[in-house]
Amino acid sequence: MAYVLIGNSAAAIGAIEGVRSVDLDGEIILFSDEPYHTYSRPLISYYLDGKVQEEKMYYRPADFYKRNRVEAHLGSRVAALAPEKKTITLADGQTVPYDKLLLATGGKPIVPPLPGRELDGVFTFLKWDDVKALEQTLAPGMRTVVIGAGLIGLKATEALVKRGVAVTVVELANRVLSAILDEAAARLVQESMLEHGVKFYLENTVAEVLGRDGKVAGVRLRDGAEIPCERLVIAIGVFPNTDLAQGTAIKVNRGIVVDERMATTVPDIFAAGDVTEGFDTIYQQQRVLPILPNAYKQGFTAGINMAGEVRAYKGGFAMNSIGFFDLPLITAGIVRPEGEGYLSLTQADPGARKYKKVVLKDNKVVGFIALNQIDRAGILTGLMEQEVDASPFLEHLLREDFGYAYLPAAYRQEQMLKGVSGGVRA
Domain assignment present for 159: yes
Q: Are residues 177 and 245 in the same domain?
A: no
Query: Which tens digits make up the pLDDT trace of 257-273?
Result: 999 999 999 999 999 99
Domain assignment present for 83: yes
> What's the pLDDT score for residue 412?
72
Average pLDDT over residues 196-212: 98
Q: Are residues 207 and 288 in the same domain?
A: no
Q: Which residue has the higher pLDDT, 23 or 278?
A: 23
Domain assignment present for 70: yes
* CATH value at residue 354: 3.30.390.30
Q: Are residues 223 and 266 in the same domain?
A: no
Q: Are 270 and 101 in contact (CB under 8 A)?
A: yes
Q: Are residues 71 and 96 in the same domain?
A: yes
Average pLDDT over residues 158-163: 98
- Whether this model's pTM surpasses 0.85: yes
Is it the case that residue 416 has pLDDT exceeding 80?
Answer: no
Total structural domains within the chain: 3
Q: Are residues 131 and 71 in the same domain?
A: no
Domain assignment present for 426: no
Q: Are residues 330 and 405 in the same domain?
A: yes
Q: Are residues 200 and 172 in the same domain?
A: yes
> What's the pLDDT score for residue 29?
98
Domain assignment present for 279: yes
d(CA 58, CA 43): 9
* Residues 137/141/144/150 CA torsion (nearest 10 deg): 110
Percent of the chain with pLDDT over 70: 97
Is it the case that residue 249 has pLDDT exceeding 70?
Answer: yes
Domain assignment present for 423: no
Q: Are residues 264 and 218 in the same domain?
A: no
Is it the case that residue 418 has pLDDT exceeding 70?
Answer: no
Q: What are the residues facing 109 on neighbouring strands?
A: 238
Q: Which domain holds residue 331?
A: 326-418
d(CA 9, CA 159): 22
Domain assignment present for 312: no
Closest CA to 27 of 67, 60, 71, 88: 71
Percent of the chain with pLDDT over 90: 90
Q: Are residues 227 and 244 in the same domain?
A: no
R_g over Cα of the chain: 23
Q: Are residues 215 and 140 in the same domain?
A: yes
> What's the pLDDT score for residue 417?
62
> What's the pLDDT score for residue 425?
55
Is it the case that residue 409 has pLDDT exceeding 80?
Answer: no
Domain assignment present for 151: yes
Is it the case that residue 229 has pLDDT exceeding 70?
Answer: yes
Q: Are 60 and 40 in contact (CB under 8 A)?
A: no
* CATH value at residue 129: 3.50.50.60
Q: Are residues 45 and 89 in the same domain?
A: yes
Is it the case that residue 81 has pLDDT exceeding 50?
Answer: yes
